[in-house]
Homo-oligomer: A and B are copies of this chain.
Amino acid sequence: MSKEIPKNFNVGICGLGTVGCGTLALIQGNSEELYRKLGRNLQVTHVATRTPRDDINLYGVKVSGDIFDVVTDPDVDVVVETIGGFDPALDLVLQAVENGKHVVTANKALIAVHGNQIFTKAQAKSVTVAYESSVAGGIPIIKALREGLAANKIDWLAGIINGTGNFILTEMTAKQRQFGDVLIEAQELGYAEADPTLDVEGIDAAHKLTIMASVAFGIPLQFEKTYTEGISQITPEDVVYAKELGYHIKHLGIAQNSAKGVEMRVHPTLIPSSDMIANVDGVGNAILVHGNSVGATLYCGPGAGAEATASSVVADVMDIARLDSIDASAFAVSGLGFRNPYTDVQIMDIEDISSEYYLRIQVQDKVGVMARITSVLQDCGISIEAVIQKEAVSETLPIVLLTHKVAERDMNKAIQLLEDLSEVSGKIARIRVAPFADGTI
């Protein structure tokens, strides 16, 4: 080695919320194990927080009220950003990079929305911005995509990447409960925020999917082009009918790379009940990845929580410390995994994407209604794979259909025509079927 490697590797943490405190506790609690692995002492030397706490061990740690004090501290080797949001997180990260400091962040929104700018600057400054903890908590999925499966052209990936949503759907499936009831319970249990929009409307999942798609396919981050649909419209009836048809309903992020372009979409999805990923329950996360050489691989684990997220934060810190220890002049793997990303790949509009569909149509109990519905579908080029028709319990009854593959544009047209029929009451429920029947584990 060409330089003397210091005995210590110093971590500065900005923000002492759940993830910040978890990171501090992990580095303190596992210090002997970390030393055994690195051959150096990994230690937190500086934290910044606006709300000091008495319940954590800050012995020997410098505490600042201003997060920007950490990024200018000459003794800090790596800055851990755990404040979340865009402002001042973006400025903080950019300034740390400007100062030649490596950064580890758990901030999925920041990476999904501002990652292109951040990685460009990091490359120019020869520092690392690592973000394993921003996707799927404790599951090392970024490392799997960027390094473990690097030899593959990734065909597609699909993941349960929002624990809150998965908890709600699991409860709805197990107990036929209403979405709203379970959401309140999830808030009481601390699984959902007071404002649950980011989780239940799919925005959090879309941030994570955007990041995974870029790493998998070698394309710039394009959060604004990810189709996003939440789970708030799913009813207990849909869960029951899906089960009768042999499916579980899960909230999936799906990214697919084909000759037609790249698909990025987050929405409720019917998955064959026998698939392993259909049986990932509660707040767990799971990501199925299909590579052109390896085939299908599956990664499951905790997607949130202080300790699980800290596991990934500190793994990133250790990667950086290991490279620092061999005097590497730059990070070995580029930010999104590709030295030469494609910059002109078409992200497909949801209307151009073909799926099989589950439809639940509430109709009046009249002779010939089924014939009219099938006629409309036929006119739109949509053929039917399975039907469930229930007894009328009031003036209307549900017809549940599973269709063969059709472009979303044609399905939208069909749904509009169907909703215009006098026999059809209210809105039609529509859920896409998972596209990966061939590649399951």
Contacts and interface: CB of A to CB of B under 8 A. Distances in A.
A329 B140 contact: no
Contact of A332 (B307, B323, B340): B323
B147 A144 contact: no
Interface string A299-316: 111100001101111110
Contacts of A34: 151
Contacts of A240: none
A341 B36 contact: yes
B151 A147 contact: no
A253 interface: no
Q: Which of A147, A293, A326 has the most CB of B within 10 A?
A: A293
A65 to B, nearest CB: 28
A122 to B, nearest CB: 14
B151 A140 contact: no
Interface string A206-229: 000000000000100000000000
Interface stretch (A263-271, A276-284, A411-419, A426-434): A276-284
Contact of A38 (B297, B300, B302, B339): B339
Given A327-B329, A330-B1, A441-B284, A153 B33 contact: yes
A149 B295 contact: no
A404 interface: no
A340 B39 contact: yes
Contacts of A176: none
A295 B148 contact: no
A86 interface: no
A328 B332 contact: yes
A313 B152 CA distance: 11
Contacts of A319: 147, 150, 332
A50 to B, nearest CB: 26
Contact of A329 (B1, B150, B276): B1
Given A151-B311, A337-B37, A292 B328 contact: no
Interface in A225-251: none
Interface string A332-354: 11000111111000000000000
Contacts of A302: 294-297
A177 interface: no
Given A329-B1, A333-B322, A441-B284, A152 B279 contact: no
Nearest to A341: B36
Interface residues of A, number: 70
A179 B33 CA distance: 43
A54 B2 CA distance: 48
A143 interface: yes
A26 B279 CA distance: 33
B308 A301 contact: no
A325 B334 CA distance: 11
Nearest to A313: B151
A399 to B, nearest CB: 33
A35 B323 CA distance: 23
A318 interface: yes
A394 interface: no
Nearest to A316: B151
A1 B140 CA distance: 29
Nearest to A291: B311
Given A138-B295, A276-B300, A301-B295, A314 B33 contact: no
Contact of A340 (B36, B140, B339, B340): B36
Contacts of A149: 140, 311, 315
A139 interface: yes
B308 A37 contact: no
Interface string A61-72: 000000000000
The 10 closest A-B CB pairs, nearest first, are A140-B148, A39-B339, A151-B314, A297-B301, A138-B294, A294-B311, A322-B332, A298-B300, A293-B311, A328-B328
23 contacts: A33-B152, A36-B218, A37-B150, A138-B293, A138-B294, A140-B148, A147-B318, A148-B312, A149-B311, A150-B319, A151-B310, A151-B311, A151-B312, A151-B314, A152-B311, A276-B276, A276-B300, A294-B302, A295-B307, A296-B302, A297-B299, A297-B300, A298-B298
